[in-house]
Amino acid sequence: MFSKTYICKMIQVQDKIISIDIFQKHFVCDLNACKGACCVEGDSGAPLLEEEKSILEDSYEKIKPYMRKKGVNEIDKNGVALYDHDGDLTTPLVNNRECAFAVFEKGITKCSIEKACLDGKIDFKKPISCHLFPIRIKSYSDFDAVNYEKIAVCKSACKHGQKLEIPIYLFLKEALIRKYGEDWYKELLEAAKLLV
């Protein structure tokens, strides 16, 4: 059963403290408008979990054929993961800008990891931080803080989500279940009903 605890516009589901924005803000990616800018913009690569680094190391040879030469060169030089200036484990960047795993197709940025997964070469879709975006999770000793990260390049996704009336927690159903499981997501849906 979920705990209906509000803390500064937040709600608790099990040991996850969730920003109310996850329920109230609308979001649906619109690649034709943003061109996949989230894989290019920012000051560091995609955040990684330690276990994801191992998965990428084990899967790299199967991902490599989907990558750009510049991305391969960067990873051959620095590995599949490195620590950024904040001390966070991330994917490396090409040109100090785009994720080394990013590829460009008809002007749209896509993920070579996801392409390898969709082709059945690996069973790892992409880093959970990418799958959950625009949700960002910060883990503490007693709980996870689940927040919405608003960035300018996602303006079109916000408009698209508003038009379709799809809140973040519904748009990211698959990713949230991947992260926390079906039972937790069912409790999240129950919590969402109380906010209507």
Q: What is the mean pLDDT of residues 128-134?
A: 96
pLDDT at 151: 86
> How confident is the model over 112-121, as pLDDT tens digits?
999 999 999 9
Mean pLDDT of the chain: 92
CB contact set of 193 (below 8 Å; sequence gap of 6+): none
In degrees rounded to 5, what are phi and psi of residue 30?
A: -130, 80
CA distance 15 to 22: 16
Number of residues in the chain: 196
Amino acid 175: pLDDT: 97
Closest Cα to residue 189, out of 38, 6, 11, 42? Answer: 11
142, pLDDT greater than 50: yes
Provide the Cα torsion 123, 169, 159, 36; round to 10°: -20
**Residue 172 half-sphere exposure, CB side, CA atoms within 13 Å?**
28
pLDDT of 1 over the 60 cut: no
- Whether residue 49 contacts residue 178, with contact meaning beta carbons closer than 8 Å, is answered with no
The model carries a pTM of: 0.88
pLDDT for residue 133 is more than 60 = yes
56: tokens are 């990428």
Q: pLDDT over 90 for what percent of the chain?
A: 78
Q: Is the peptide bond before 134 cis (omega within 30 degrees of 0)?
A: yes
Q: How far is CA 164 from CA 32, 81, 159, 167, in A?
A: 16, 36, 9, 9
